[in-house]
Chains A and B, each alone.
Chain A
Amino acid sequence: MRTATTAAARRRTRNLVLAAIAGVGVAVWVFPVLWGLLTSFKTERDVLAYPPAVFFTPTLANYREVLFGASSILPNLWSSFVVATAATALTMLFAIPAAYALGRLRYPYKRASGFYVLVTQMLPPVGLIIPYYLVLQKIGALDTYVGLAVIYLTFALPFAIWLMVSYFEDVPLEMEEAALLDRAGRMRALWHVILPQVRGGIAVTTIFVFLNAWNEFLFAVVLGGNRVRTVTVAMFNFISVEQTQWAKVAAGAMLAMLPVILIGIFAQRHIVKGLTVGAVKGGGRR
């Protein structure tokens, strides 16, 4: 009787300790972001208070300044939206047919073409930025939406192809065969039978490509300019050599990251799959 209660008590303590350690881990991830949220509602004076002000009069002045002030990020949010949407649409247009071929059809040099797509996914962006800059400069496409959206294909397309392949592979083979026996042409089978089966995969891939394009910084800062200035570049609006306007930086960051945070929570079940897919395919079965 006594031993049973002590064992139960010990288990309870153990669970508590475990939960506490895990809680610290989570706090480390969440706290900086929550702190940023809190800071975005402080006046610049409250930000610099020590000890930090836990109770303060919240203000919306930072958001007002960031949205409607002299260095408003509204045009930048628009730039990001246009570039990310265009890049995503282009990417999906090329990725879906290619992924279907790679995942489902038999053709010569299939392994080699899959491997080529995988290799292009691994190229570090800094390694490619110089030719992009020189070429876009030569054809007058620096600081244009088209230039940036097309360049975004370099990292978005290989990723989207491999993610879509994994969804095409999950479609039962019989569905396809039945559709072909039904005298439907291949194109019609793909459009009417296969694509509806991978709707979910298309949605997830679209979300991921958009997220990556929205967050991109290097290409945007080098290949953009005054006209096409994405929100990741505009984060530096409130930082200068003389002074950093902390609360404004925090408010701008919150606005810029709101879409991706919502996407992250909304698509959380798919995040792990989206992040691992390239390596699983490339190193595994193929």
Chain B
Amino acid sequence: MTAAARPARSLAAQERRFALALLAPALVVLLLTTTAPLVYLAWTSLNRIDLAMPWLSGFAGVDNYAKMGSDPRFWNSLLLTAVYTASTVVLQVILGLSLALLVLQIPRGQGALRIAAILPIVLAPVVVGLFWRTLVLAPDFGLVDMTTRALGLGSHNWLGDPQLALISVIAIHTWQWTPFAFLVLLASLATLPPDVYEAARLDRASAWQRFVHITLPLLRPAIVMVVILRTMTALSAFAAIFAATGGGPGSATEILNLYAYRTSFTELNLGYGSSLAVVLLAITLAISFLMFRLRRAR
């Protein structure tokens, strides 16, 4: 009997069984490595777990969450997370799009540009952070400081001054990830239909009008996608800041990730750290659901 002659229903049932057999191992792994830890995290966030004073550990109810309300370092980390995420995403999109539009006008050498753009993306964030901390931003001997000194703008403590440190870590993140926005937008720009532009040119539309009325609307899906992905990366940023400033000076660059880490593994207060991690996860998931909803509404 050939497969075609088999009743359709048993074929579908067979396909279903096969699919589940293939999928089950991966789903079990994901349940064990992501979902079960989340449940455990929810539990530890309701406990006092202090590795420095283990005799005080025990169930604490919502104490950890109640504590956040009056914890200025928590509110500071939330604010910094918002500033860090918003500014890096906006900078990456604007710089990436501008550069992609420019490069599209250049007849040759795009290949070399693409390779250059890949370089920051493949580097480990922790190495990027260290590189900037030493070779780029160190007072007196870093590239940036040498430049500002040569230009007569003086030497600055780029990672030691609270305000400059925040700007610096934003610059580091933007440096590493703008190539991503650039590459994606360049690829999308190359697929836009040329005849629309031809028609617009015949209608004597200016370059700016063509950009606003043709390029931007056509590019919208790509831009939305870049914004979503960049937001996710910014919300889980850790290693580059850890390497460059460790969250300091003081708590000047302590985004929520850094605060949760420091609370848990420097101050060894795993209970409070857990509740901060829960807040971080809730925020990330809420923002991603919101963004996907916006995207689907288009």
Q: Interface on A for B, CB 8 Å cutoff?
A: 15, 18-19, 21-22, 25-26, 28-33, 35-36, 39, 47-48, 50-52, 94-95, 97-98, 100-102, 105-108, 110, 113, 116-117, 119-120, 122-135, 150-151, 153-154, 157-158, 161, 180-181, 183, 186-187, 211, 214-218, 222, 232, 235-236, 239, 244, 246, 249-250, 253, 256-257, 260-261, 263-265, 268, 271-272, 275-276, 278-280, 282-283
Q: How far is the CA of A47 from the CA of B183 in the complex (A)?
A: 34
B124 near A268 with CB under 8 A, answer no
Known: A215-B125, A279-B229. A235 touches B130 (CB 8 A): yes
Q: Chain A residues near B274: list those with CB within 8 A.
A: 130
Chain A minimum-CB-distance residue to B277 = A127
A134 near B270 with CB under 8 A, answer yes
B16 near A157 with CB under 8 A, answer no
Interface residues of A, dominant DSSP: helix
Instruction: Jot down 12 A-B pairs with beta carbons below 8 A, ordered by A.
Output: A29-B116, A32-B175, A95-B26, A108-B16, A133-B270, A232-B124, A257-B122, A261-B119, A268-B118, A271-B183, A275-B183, A276-B229
**Which residue of B124, B187, B235, B265 contacts A272 across the interface (Cβ within 8 Å)?**
B187
Stretch at the interface among B99-107, B161-169, B195-203, B209-217: B99-107
A126 near B225 with CB under 8 A, answer no
Known: A19-B109, A128-B37. A263 touches B116 (CB 8 A): no
Q: Chain B residues near A246: list those with CB within 8 A.
A: 134-135, 138, 141
Interface flags for B22-49 (1: CB within 8 Å of A; 0: not) read: 1101110110011101101100100001
What 10 A-B pairs come out closest when comparing CB atoms?
A98-B26, A264-B122, A124-B236, A215-B124, A97-B22, A131-B37, A107-B19, A105-B19, A217-B239, A127-B281
Known: A106-B12, A183-B2. A158 touches B30 (CB 8 A): yes
* Contacting residues of chain B (196-248) with chain A, CB-CB under 8 angstroms: 224-225, 228-229, 232, 235-236, 238-239, 242-243
In this assembly, does B184 line the interface, its C-beta being within 8 Å of a C-beta of chain A? yes
Chain A minimum-CB-distance residue to B36 = A131
In this assembly, does B280 line the interface, its C-beta being within 8 Å of a C-beta of chain A? yes
Q: Chain A residues near B224: list those with CB within 8 A.
A: 283
In this assembly, does B18 line the interface, its C-beta being within 8 Å of a C-beta of chain A? yes
Known: A30-B116, A183-B2. A129 touches B261 (CB 8 A): yes
A122 near B284 with CB under 8 A, answer yes
Q: How far is the CA of A128 from the CA of B35 in the complex (A)?
A: 10
**Which residue of A107, A153, A180 contacts B3 across the interface (Cβ within 8 Å)?**
A180
B225 near A52 with CB under 8 A, answer no
A157 near B37 with CB under 8 A, answer no
Give A246 Cβ to nearest chain B Cβ, in Å: 5
A250 near B135 with CB under 8 A, answer yes
Q: Chain A residues near B295: list those with CB within 8 A.
A: 283
Q: How far is the CA of A94 from the CA of B134 in the complex (A)?
A: 40
Q: How far is the CA of A153 from the CA of B27 in the complex (A)?
A: 12
Q: How far is the CA of A154 from the CA of B32 in the complex (A)?
A: 9
A101 near B19 with CB under 8 A, answer yes
Q: How far is the CA of A235 from the CA of B127 in the complex (A)?
A: 7
**Which residue of B16, B113, B183, B281 contacts A123 across the interface (Cβ within 8 Å)?**
B281
Give A30 Cβ to nearest chain B Cβ, in Å: 5
Q: How far is the CA of A100 from the CA of B147 in the complex (A)?
A: 53
Known: A35-B135, A48-B141, A131-B37. A29 touches B117 (CB 8 A): yes
B34 near A154 with CB under 8 A, answer yes
Q: How far is the CA of A186 from the CA of B118 in the complex (A)?
A: 40
Q: How far is the CA of A278 from the CA of B113 in the complex (A)?
A: 25
Give B235 Cβ to nearest chain A Cβ, in Å: 6
In this assembly, does B83 line the interface, its C-beta being within 8 Å of a C-beta of chain A? no
Q: Chain A residues near B118: list those with CB within 8 A.
A: 264-265, 268, 271
In this assembly, does B93 line the interface, its C-beta being within 8 Å of a C-beta of chain A? no
B23 near A97 with CB under 8 A, answer yes
Q: Chain A residues near B270: list those with CB within 8 A.
A: 130, 133-134
Known: A132-B37, A232-B124. A283 touches B296 (CB 8 A): yes
Chain A minimum-CB-distance residue to B18 = A186
A131 near B44 with CB under 8 A, answer yes
10 additional contacts (CB under 8 A) given A100-B22, A260-B124: A48-B140, A97-B25, A101-B19, A122-B285, A130-B264, A131-B38, A180-B3, A250-B134, A264-B122, A280-B225
